[in-house]
Amino acid sequence: MPLFRAFCIAGLITATAAPVFAATYGPELQGFDYPYPLKHFEFQSQGESLQMGYMDVPANGKPNGRSVVLMHGKNFCGATWESSIKALSDAGYRVIAPDQIGFCSSSKPDHYQYSFQQLALNTHQLLEKLGVQKATLVGHSTGGMLATRYALMYPGQTEQLALVNPIGLEDWKALGVPSLSVDQWYARELNVSAEGIRKYQLNTYYVGRWKPEYERWVDMYAGLSNGPGHTRVAWNSALIYDMIFTQPVYYEFKDLKMPTLLLIGTSDNTAIGKDVAPPAVKAKLGNYAVLGKQAAKLIPHATLVEFPGLGHAPQMEEPARFHAALLQGLNAL
């Protein structure tokens, strides 16, 4: 199982009465309805012909001339930014929400050397194709690590950076979390279930508070993982977990040059490999009430906005509150 199984700690998971979905989707999420028209960017990378799915949503309000690129997390998709896309578009932004290679509506190659640098390059090529010369990056969870790498690689094209409960605010390997092999990650990925996803999301994303609208995202992730591309999806996911664990951006926060907004749900406890860590190490991991403050000190031009009591996905848990803070932070540039 992916992150959901990796972090289900005995005693923290409580059952819900929600139904278990039986829907399945194609290996590029065929059959799932995106909230805005889905387009595809075709390109060559590492000897493969690949395509990235993306949404390019124009300003619905009075255009302000700015573009925002939304970078999703490991167990998310461009589609999970649905409410953020609307809020930003209504505020006058052009909004681009890609699915990274290996995720959702994008290619799942048989052989790919995953790196944050490669994913950043792919995204930069997409933006060049779309004529976007400068953009604000909003990265959530693993997307926060990717947005950081992009900003380090392309500082001249990065107007502003916003990190939403990014993982990678600590180096798990350096803290004593045992490394899992790609084969071990793959074995876990093959066991994804809607029930496991729902239980994990309940306790990490939403801090024990479930809403009916969250079921759509359980359905999306479980349907992709258990569809006809089951093994290919699992293999790419395993490679991505290895990338996340072995390629920290933590040590380079000090090199970020642009204004950076940190949006942190303080009750988040996400940490890669937490379930296999020794008890003394596990107890110290994923404390976002502390990690957010530490990151704000490391990043030169950082502004910290905390959401007390919210979990890993404040933009989904309390969207109105989150988007008010996001738009205020972006307008402060």
> Given this model, what pLDDT does residue 13 score?
30
Kindly report the number of other CB atoms within 10 A of residue 92's CB atom. 16
> Given this model, what pLDDT does residue 333 score?
66
More confident site: 5 or 217: 217
User: CA nearest 185: which of 132, 240, 124, 138?
Assistant: 240
Locate the domains of the chain by residue range: 3-331
The first and second tokens of residue 2, run together, are 């992916």
Per-residue pLDDT reduced to its tens digit, 68-102 = 999 999 999 999 999 999 999 999 999 999 999 99
> Given this model, what pLDDT does residue 201 score?
86
**Mean per-residue pLDDT, 150-168:** 98
Q: What CA–CA distance (Å, rounded) separates 239 from 241? A: 5
Task: Please tell me the number of Cα atoms within 13 Å of 159 on its side-chain side.
Answer: 17
Percent of the chain at pLDDT exceeding 70: 93
Among the residues of the chain, which ranges form H helices?
A: 3-6, 82-90, 116-129, 142-153, 182-189, 194-204, 215-225, 230-246, 279-282, 288-298, 314-317, 319-331
State how far the alpha carbon of 74 is from the alpha carbons of 101, 120, 129, in Å: 11, 15, 25
Per-residue pLDDT reduced to its tens digit, 266-308 = 999 999 998 899 999 999 999 999 999 999 999 999 999 999 9
> Given this model, what pLDDT does residue 22 score?
60
- CATH 3.40.50.1820 applies to domain 3-331: yes
